[in-house]
Amino acid sequence: MTLHVHHLTGCSPVPLAHYLKALGILRLVSEQKDPAARGWWQDEHFCLMTELTREALETFFLEEYAPTPFLSPWNKGSGFFAINDPALGPIERSSAERLKQFRLGIADARVPLAELARADHAVRALKDRTKKRSGMSAAEAASARSLRDDSEYKSELAAAEREFKRLKADLFSPCARTWRGAHREWMDAALVLPESGNPAFPSLLGTGGNDGRIDFTNNAMQHIARLFDVNGSGAPNERAHRLLCDALWSEPASGTPSGAIGQFLPGSAGGANSTSGPSGDAFVNPWDFVMMLEGSVLFSARSTRRLDPNATASASAPFAVRAHPVGYGSRGDEKAARGEQWMPVWERPCGLSELRDLLGEARVQLGQQLAYRPVDVARALARLGVARGLRSFLRYGFLERNGQSNLAVPLGRLPVLHRPRARLIDDLAPWLQRLQREARDKSAPARLIHAERRLSDAVFSALTHDDQPSLWQSVLREAAQTETILASGTGYKAGPIPPLSPEWLKAADDGSIEWRLACALGSAAAEYDQRRGPLDPVRHHWLPLGPGARRFSETDRRLAKDVRVVMAGRDPISDLAALVQRRVIESSQRGQRSLPLVAAPGWEASTHDLAELVAGRVRLDIVTVLACALMAVQWRAVRGSSPRTDAFGPAALDEGWVSIRLAALPWPLDGERTVPLDATMLRRLQSGDAIGAAEIALRRLRSAGLRPPIRCAMADAGTARRWAASLAFPINRTTARRLARRFEPETEKEIR
């Protein structure tokens, strides 16, 4: 048997209509002609492998193809509620063999509709009594208008409408009980009918095969009539072959009829600015529309989705997730969105049964849970949560565009790649969910909504791009910025950044001075215990936290006012100086005269980095934001140390700053010498008085037995404030001794 590979260049992954068309072609060929047919995606088009030649494939669609009965009797625009509907009527009366299944489906749909049709006709008849018709006299027209205000007429109309609504509300259950065959497959794709009896509509097919004023089923019947002789033998019409070549092979074809295609093909929707003139008409190839619906039948809702406790009714179709405006720029109103659909793309030949299994399972998993938000899907893809040989997913969002029209907007393509560090987001996942819940609240302020979106965007980028420290740093920065908003009392129920694993330190390490200083500050605490880790971390000066620094402190259902919180998140130099000042105050309250700030072992600041900071060559805004996020790292579990900076060369440190640094240590300089801290020195630095602060420091050093080689130090006000800010970055004992060596040159060998 000879197999033929057909490159269907008319079937591209984007737009959604052409993606579904490709799946419809594979389904129809496999079910009605060649069960061994296979299909895959290659070079931005669909490939079909079958025993049919090109001529045989075209002949099949023109002569043998039997359309699926697309029927939505629950929709008013479906044609079932009109007398001799111009689309449904000819098919119902047709004797063509290829429309046999369609006629059987219509007959099944008519059974529960008889009583409903009578109720509908009763409503229409009552409304017709108030309409002005041609041939009416002026008196008759006036009588019809006056009838609208008649109380007896209003009561009768209301009763008729209630009866119609009652019968229509119970229309789904009879269809679900009695329908069998191809039209039942369409029903399963168009709606989900849970035990409650209230239908839920997957976004792919609008509201049960209807999108606004466009009924997909009635339009499909109209397009079938344009392609085939429904009043006769069902033979193809004159233009059918030319339009088929356009749909399959993208060959130019004239005479494409006008018609709406709804949300599936935004580029052909027409309207303002859609052509060179003020507005354009909507045009659609009938084959595109019909085979698009044939492909959508494969996306039937399954119990594996409905039974998931986190899944919503709108996300019951395969690979359907909740709407969340992250990962793309053209954001609309999320609350008006119907959700998203992620379409799989594969490059290996796949048969219809395999495709049905894939879509039937529709499994994008995170551990034991299904992913139901865009960020969760990105996490699953980055961790190989889909193990079916898929290469990527096309992300479509059903968003309001062009007024209130819902369009399937392509939001990007995500490759299925293994990204080991994607598991870092597991630390933030519960927090992200709480943030999104707070941001969705109707009273949520705009700044919280925007912060949550920026954070989700950063997470999405880190999960969908190559591993880069800048991306992970962006996540930490946005998390800290969001915490700033929470610390003001807005949305604080979401809680602070949860504990972060030590792996964040490797993922976000870009080797910069800012990163190393952020690690030193983020790990700072009063002391480090070998078993319990950091004691009294500086995070208490950033957020109002309860014991353990894991949760916000609350009083009277509000965020507590904590006097220890001195970092406002605005001016980094002021924040760092305030942190140092607060530590000194707390130390004096305990009867001590020191600056109780030590970093995690091995993560202390180096003299090289501090020299750059004092010289004003460090972005302190980046340092403080990163440090605030790194305060959430589980420093107790951190092993190793930050990269050493000895290779950067000797630090050019000002002797005045060295004296101030040695006068503000958390422990004695050595076993014999202690330099007690004078809080006045810090106040002088904060006011910009470097001379007065250095004088105090030098006096303290001399009283401790050191012999500074200078008698005074001078610096401008900005440098003095940077000197104060630099004290927030802990150094280790070895660094302190090396700095003291500058004041004791003759004892250099002994100190070594």
How many Å apart are CA 721 and CA 708, to the nearest integer? 22
DSSP, collapsed to helix, strand or coil, labels residue 180 as coil
- Identify the band that residue 660 occupies on the pLDDT scale cut at 50, 70 and 90: very high
Give the per-residue SS3 of 112-162: CHHHHHHHHHHHHHHHHCCCCCCCCCHHHHHHHHHHCCCHHHHHHHHHHHH
Q: Which of the residue ranges 105-114, 502-511, 563-572, 648-657 has the most confident prediction, judged by mean pLDDT?
A: 502-511
Share of the chain above pLDDT 70, in %: 88
- Identify the band that residue 340 occupies on the pLDDT scale cut at 50, 70 and 90: confident
Give the per-residue SS3 of 295-359: HHCCCCCCHHHHCCCCCCHHHCCCCEECCCCCCCCCCCCHHHCCCEEEEEEECCCEEHHHHHHHH
The candidate with the shortest Cα–Cα distance to 341, out of 13, 10, 11, 28, is: 13
Between residues 124 and 479, the one the model is more confident about? 479
User: Sign of the CA dihedral 118, 119, 120, 126?
Assistant: positive
How high is the pLDDT of residue 629? 97
Answer yes or no: is pLDDT of 644 > 60. Answer: no
Q: What does the pLDDT average to over 256-274?
A: 71
Whole-number average pLDDT of the chain: 86
Q: What does the pLDDT average to over 483-490?
A: 92
Measure CA 18 to chain center: 25
Partners of residue 410 on adjacent β-strands? 396
For the ranges 259-263, 303-307, 389-393, 424-428, the lowest mean pLDDT is seen at 303-307
Q: What does the pLDDT average to over 354-361?
A: 86
How high is the pLDDT of residue 384? 56
Condensed to tens digits (0 to 9), the pLDDT of residues 725-735 reads 999 999 999 99
Predicted TM-score (pTM) of the model is 0.83
Share of the chain above pLDDT 90, in %: 55
Q: Where are the domains of the chain?
A: 1-65+238-296, 76-237, 303-417, 429-494, 511-751
How many Å apart are CA 319 and CA 380, to the nearest integer? 12
How high is the pLDDT of residue 302? 53
Phi-psi region of 561 (alpha: psi -120 to 50; beta: other; left: phi over 0): beta
Whether 491 contacts 424, CB under 8 Å: no
Three-point CA angle 462, 464, 469, nearest 5°:
30
| DSSP at 638 | -
Condensed to tens digits (0 to 9), the pLDDT of residues 202-213 reads 888 988 898 877
Q: What does the pLDDT average to over 124-148?
A: 74
How many Å apart are CA 452 and CA 479, to the nearest integer? 9
How many Å apart are CA 406 and CA 207, to the nearest integer? 11
How many Å apart are CA 524 and CA 567, to the nearest integer? 14
How high is the pLDDT of residue 748? 44
Strand order across the 45-50 sheet = 4-8, 45-50, 38-42, 350-351
DSSP, collapsed to helix, strand or coil, labels residue 397 as strand
Number of H helices, E strands in the chain: 29, 18
How many Å apart are CA 115 and CA 133, to the nearest integer? 28
- Identify the band that residue 306 occupies on the pLDDT scale cut at 50, 70 and 90: very low
How high is the pLDDT of residue 278? 62
How high is the pLDDT of residue 646? 47
Partners of residue 401 on adjacent β-strands? 405
How high is the pLDDT of residue 277? 58
What number of other Cβ atoms are within 10 A of residue 697's Cβ? Answer: 28
Q: Which of the residue ranges 28-32, 325-329, 413-417 has the most confident prediction, judged by mean pLDDT?
A: 28-32
Q: Which of the residue ranges 149-153, 293-297, 368-372 has the most confident prediction, judged by mean pLDDT?
A: 293-297
How many Å apart are CA 552 and CA 66, to the nearest integer? 64
Answer yes or no: is pLDDT of 511 > 60. Answer: yes
Answer yes or no: is pLDDT of 260 > 90. Answer: no
Answer yes or no: is pLDDT of 672 > 80. Answer: no
How high is the pLDDT of residue 312? 46
How high is the pLDDT of residue 269? 62
Our CA dihedral for 707, 709, 713, 718, rounded to 10 degrees, sits at -90
- Identify the band that residue 625 occupies on the pLDDT scale cut at 50, 70 and 90: very high
- Identify the band that residue 749 occupies on the pLDDT scale cut at 50, 70 and 90: very low
Answer yes or no: is pLDDT of 385 > 70. Answer: no
Whether 174 contacts 111, CB under 8 Å: yes
The candidate with the shortest Cα–Cα distance to 690, out of 678, 700, 699, 681, is: 681
Condensed to tens digits (0 to 9), the pLDDT of residues 175-233 reads 888 888 899 999 999 988 776 667 888 888 988 898 877 899 999 999 999 999 999 99
Question: Who's near 57: CB < 8 A, 6+ residues apart?
Answer: 6, 29, 48, 50, 248
How high is the pLDDT of residue 303? 44
Whether 717 contacts 693, CB under 8 Å: no
How high is the pLDDT of residue 747? 46
What number of other Cβ atoms are within 10 A of residue 301's Cβ? Answer: 25
How many Å apart are CA 552 and CA 63, to the nearest integer? 71
